Amino acid sequence: MVERGVIGVDVTGVGFGNISIRISNRKEFIITGSQTGHLKRLSHNDLSLVTEYSITGNFVRCSGLSKASSEALTHAAIYNHSPQYGSVIHIHSHRIWKLAKETYPVTNPTAEYGTSELALSVEMTKKKIDDNKSEHLAPIIILGGHPDGIIIFETNLDLAGSETIKLIDSYR
């Protein structure tokens, strides 16, 4: 994802994008740490274990040497009521974000980056995807109030990565 430029660091030095995996069928998950987008290889020191969260309370408890990404609640919104999802990838691409709004579900455009409002909007949007399985919607959500932000979720990291690569390649 770093090599494809959808996870990384911008010109001002601010990292963007993150990845998480659920631990078994529990609500706990491991997420890349805040400001680790510039790293091509991560160590256990660059990860955080989210052990507890409240989307409505805007609260995340985690452990590890790295602080959990500020988008941890957005990842939690996918895991919260959906034991079938085991991985979330949050990428940034202005081109895909702009063009894919016509194809994929979009969260509330007033729900901004890193807020419980965005996490709640993701949760509602994901529920629509789950309820409309007959329409074969891809597990992709465009973050309407988080310019450039897109999340991809699947049953495991390999499938989430494959969906992400397919999405990137389809908007070259």
The CATH number of the domain holding residue 116 is 3.40.225.10
What total of structural domains would you count in the chain? 1
148: left (phi over 0), alpha (psi -120 to 50) or beta: left
pLDDT, residue 56, reads 93
List the beta bridge partners of residue 29. Answer: 22, 50
User: Quick check: 135 pLDDT over 70?
Assistant: no
User: Quick check: 114 pLDDT over 90?
Assistant: no
Does this model's pTM top 0.85?
Answer: yes
What average pLDDT does the segment 143-157 reach? 95
Q: What residues make up the domain containing 145?
A: 8-170
Listed as own residue / partner, the contacts of 8-16 with beta carbons closer than 8 Å and 24 or more positions apart are 8/37, 8/38, 8/92, 9/37, 9/38, 16/92, 16/148
Would you say residue 1 lies in a domain? no
pLDDT, residue 15, reads 83
Would you say residue 3 lies in a domain? no
For residue 70, give both structure tokens. 């500020």
Would you say residue 2 lies in a domain? no
pLDDT, residue 67, reads 87
What average pLDDT does the segment 10-16 reach? 87
For residue 3, give both structure tokens. 């090599």
Would you say residue 87 lies in a domain? yes
